[in-house]
Amino acid sequence: MPKMVWFKTGIVPLEQASVSVLDHAYLYGDGLFEGIRFYDRKIFRLDEHLSRVIDGCRYLGFELAYTHAEIRQAVLDVTKAADFDNGYVRLNISRGTGLGLDPKNIDREANLVIIASSLALYPPEAYETGLDVITSSFRMTPPDSLDPRLKCSGRYAANILAKQEANRAGAGEALILNHQGYVAECSGDNIFLVRRGHITTPHPSSGLLQGITRDSVFEIARSLEMEIREEFLTSYDIVSADEAFLTGTAAEVIPMVSLDGRPIADGKPGPVTGKVMAAFRALTKDGTAFD
């Protein structure tokens, strides 16, 4: 099936969509993005994703010519045109086009690109056996430099470096700490721990991106009648946990079974993680239909 793109005003095949080499996201990482999943022809948490990216545009001062409703319709249109039952939508917005750092000297019409395709972040067997994770030597960008709630393209250079560290170590993911040594997130995922019958996750003040799937786990925990807390966590908390799992739009919910070669509990996915995974799969059946 074709990979389709909504570009500026309408839908074209992927091969026909292109932006200028002077696009500010290409030149300076001056752009925002969202990854959005759809399941059985229903888009999961569409409006939450769109609200986040529009809030980011407002914060960064992008002159966005599209409303929430217009972007929403474009996502529905391109997903329908791609004709996948299950897949991944990538939405990118850049500030505009032009050489030079100063936005006042460029064409500030924001470039909007929406891609409907497929994506598998981890192999299927990893959801059965769990991920080995290493601690990255790179630290989170502090909020006084860039607010962690922004899915800003330039911010992810450090995440890519962390992911490369994991690849070199033969690990599935890299854990990123903040400058105080507290757990923030992994290179592309939020992290949750299970200990003594309750679930914990890093406090937003630790510098993490508050993921849409992360929010869904809070909903799931309530449905399972489990206490869930946001706390300041260190590596000690991870290694001494009964279970751990990671979440993200691309990752969905996946077990984490070790940190830096040290197993978490017995080094196998735990029962609470299994319940959360099953509940998340059930939750994805409730989405925005594009047919």
The two tokens of residue 209 are 């991106």
Same domain, 234 and 269: yes
Q: Please enumerate in sequence order all residues whose Cβ is within 8 A of that of 190, keeping only pairs 6 or more positions apart, or say none.
A: 201, 202, 208, 209, 210, 211, 213, 214, 246, 247, 248
Range of the domain at 14: 4-117
pLDDT-flagged residues of the chain (< 70): 1-2
Catalytic residue numbers, as ranges? 151
| pLDDT at res. 13 | 86
| pLDDT at res. 17 | 86
- Which CATH number does the domain housing residue 12 bear? 3.30.470.10
User: Given 62, 84, 117, which residue is the final one in a domain?
Assistant: 117
Domain assignment present for 28: yes
* DSSP for 6-60, written as a single string: EETTEEEEGGG----TTBHHHHH--EEEEEEEEETTEETTHHHHHHHHHHHHHHH
What is the tens place of the pLDDT at every residue in 20-55? 999 999 999 999 999 999 999 999 999 999 999 999
Same domain, 143 and 204: yes
Same domain, 276 and 183: yes
| pLDDT at res. 201 | 98
Same domain, 272 and 145: yes
Same domain, 242 and 266: yes
User: Given 93, 117, 141, which residue is the final one in a domain?
Assistant: 117
| pLDDT at res. 118 | 87
Alpha-carbon distances of 145 from 101, 140, 239, rounded to whole Å: 17, 10, 30
How many domains does one find in the chain? 2
| pLDDT at res. 2 | 60
Long-range contacts, 267-274 (Cβ 8 Å, 24+): 267/130, 268/129, 268/130, 269/128, 269/129, 269/130, 269/243, 269/245, 270/194, 270/242, 270/243, 271/243, 272/194, 272/199, 272/226, 272/242, 272/243, 273/194, 273/243, 273/244, 273/245
| pLDDT at res. 9 | 81
| pLDDT at res. 14 | 84
pTM: 0.95
- Structural element, H or E, at residue 78: helix 68-82
Domain assignment present for 59: yes
The two tokens of residue 224 are 């399972």
User: Given 75, 99, 117, which residue is the final one in a domain?
Assistant: 117
- Which CATH number does the domain housing residue 255 bear? 3.20.10.10
